[in-house]
Amino acid sequence: MHMADALISPVVGGAMWAATAGVAAYSIKKVQTEMDEKKIPLMGVMGAFIFASQMINFTIPATGSSGHIGGGLILAILLGPYAGFLTIASVLAIQALFFADGGLLAYGCNVFNMGFFSCFIAYPLIYKVLMKKEYSTKRIFLASVLTAVIGLQLGAFGVVLETLFSGKTELPFGTFVLLMQPIHLAIGVVEGLVTAAIATYIWNARPEIMEKASSGETIGNISIKKVVAGLVAAAVVTGAGLSWFASSNPDGLEWAMIKTAGTAELEATGGLHQQLSDLQSKTAFLPDYSFQANEDQPEQSTGEGEEAWPAVDGGTSTSGLVGGSLTLILAALVGGGISLMKRRKYRINS
């Protein structure tokens, strides 16, 4: 479910970063006021545990295939939603940095999809409610599977929306939803079953861990309202700010939704972009060549919320091909040159 940078736009990435930072700040405040500092090493080592346990392949009965866990739910169950959310956030940070599993700009999206939905929506609204009365193996299984499935469905839907709002892929909404949701239904069931197996084992072996976790932090109605309100505010403000900065002229049916949410495509014309291209036309040397006409040519828009399709004529494409290859060759030469010089320096030194 990790989203890469290549598939998101700066506006979506920035808005989700703001939302995630808001939830994280709130969680940190909660962790600091409600828990003892003992929990910090526990959170750290639990993050490492999730990382390592993702390497365990669990055989799925009757299918012959195997799956692994994501870990969001077990963290929420054992550490509570706030510490669980922060722990998932640091696991995702390390995955993004060291394994390129999810991008840095998409980090906000990823933490939100995999952390927020399971820790702040599915866990308090389903797991906590179902487990309120009593602990039993059956209840743990029921609650875990339901919570994992709903959490992952919401997360998968988040991926769909964020990708579509970013407008980098041509996938229609319906197709994307049909691709994502069923796959994550299966993943959710496995996640729930494995989480339930682990939770039952812990409940039998060390019940005090589960009891502490569930009695420690109750999510009252007020706090969840606060979280959601703060979050929406952060996302809207950032989205609106960024899109104001980027200009505000999105067209097309699909992007009407974004408009109401207060965000828009960065690639729109007018505003800042117009100013820049004005500046460009003033400062461009060689104004007679086709690269300049490129900016002014009417776009061959299909009217479906497309961005300007660069007009391709013989002149521009030849210029583009020649210039493009030259740029790459130049980059390679510069890199090679530096390496060569460095190597020579070492040889002289040694």
Site for other proteins in 13-32 (CB under 8 A): 13, 24-25, 28, 31-32
Query: What does the alpha-carbon distance between residue 89 and residue 83 come to, in Å, rounded to a whole number?
Result: 10
Find the shortest distance in angstroms from Cβ 322 to other proteins: 4
Q: Which stretch binds other proteins (CB under 8 A): 92-100, 112-120, 121-129, 143-151?
A: 92-100
Of 10 and 241, nearer to other proteins (C-beta) is: 10
Q: Which stretch binds other proteins (CB under 8 A): 108-116, 126-134, 225-233, 328-336?
A: 328-336
Buried b (16+ CB within 10 A) or exposed e, 190-220: bbbbbbbebbbebbeeeeeebeebbeebebe
The mark string for 96-115 relative to other proteins (x by CB under 8 A, - otherwise) is xxxxxx-xxx----------
DSSP conformation class of 313: -
CA angle (159 as vertex; 154, 165 as ends), nearest 5: 120
Query: What does the alpha-carbon distance between residue 297 and residue 43 come to, in Å, rounded to a whole number?
Result: 56
**Binding residue for other proteins, selected from 206, 225, 226, 344, defined by CB under 8 A:** 206
194 binding other proteins? (CB under 8 A): yes
Q: Are strands 58-59 and 66-67 parallel, antiparallel or unpaired?
A: antiparallel
Site for other proteins in 244-303 (CB under 8 A): 266-267, 276, 279-280, 284, 286, 289-291, 294, 302
Residue 45 backbone class (left: φ over 0; alpha: ψ -120 to 50; beta: rest) = alpha
Query: What does the alpha-carbon distance between residue 238 and residue 252 come to, in Å, rounded to a whole number?
Result: 22
**Binding residue for other proteins, selected from 34, 66, 178, 274, defined by CB under 8 A:** 66
258 within 8 A of 165, measured Cβ to Cβ: yes
Of 51 and 157, nearer to other proteins (C-beta) is: 51
Of 129 and 345, nearer to other proteins (C-beta) is: 345
Site for other proteins in 129-158 (CB under 8 A): none
